[in-house]
């Protein structure tokens, strides 16, 4: 007689969506509007009209939403903004917040 262990699997496996993070650019008194637009186009793949609208939101409201991403992508974009700013001599900062 063999002892077999039966493993019952639920008919339904519940998959959870990964958490999403909002990435914002923060306003500062030094980064030029043109540089902010350049960052939005290169890092966040925005077209010129979208980039100008987000840049104005950053300028007028203190921050602007650049996109919603998974943790890994959001943290990469925050790092890319920091690197671009440092390379061009601007203190532009991006932050990520859980959605």
Please report whether residue 58 resides in a domain.
yes
Phi and psi angles of residue 68, each rounded to the nearest 5 degrees, phi first: -125, 125
In a domain, 83, yes or no: yes
Long-range contacts of 42-49 (CB under 8 A, 24+ apart): 42/84, 43/77, 43/80, 43/81, 43/84, 44/77
Its pTM stands at: 0.83
pLDDT in tens, 4-46: 565 555 556 788 889 999 999 999 999 999 999 999 999 999 9
Domain holding 82: CATH number? 3.30.1390.10
User: Is 25 inside a domain boundary?
Assistant: yes
Amino acid 29: pLDDT: 94
41-90 pLDDT, tens digit per residue, is 999 999 999 999 999 999 999 999 999 999 999 999 999 999 999 999 99
In a domain, 2, yes or no: no
Classify residue 37: in a domain, yes or no. yes
Let me know if residue 4 belongs to a domain.
no
Does any domain span residue 85?
A: yes
Q: Is residue 42 domain-resident?
A: yes
Chain center to CA of 61: 18
Task: Show the tokens assigned to 57.
Answer: 């939101």
Residue-level pLDDT at 13: 72
Instruction: Give the total number of structural domains in the chain.
Output: 1
């Amino acid at each position: 007689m063999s002892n077999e262990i039966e493993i019952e699997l639920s008919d339904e496996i519940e998959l959870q969506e990964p958490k999403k993070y909002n990435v914002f650019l923060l306003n500062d008194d030094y980064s030029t509007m043109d540089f902010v637009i350049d960052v939005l186009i290169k890092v966040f793949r925005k077209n010129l009209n979208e980039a100008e609208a987000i840049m104005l939101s950053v300028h007028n409201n203190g921050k602007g939403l650049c996109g919603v991403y998974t943790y890994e992508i959001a943290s990469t974009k925050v790092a890319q903004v920091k690197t671009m700013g440092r390379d061009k001599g601007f203190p532009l900062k991006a932050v990520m917040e859980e959605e």
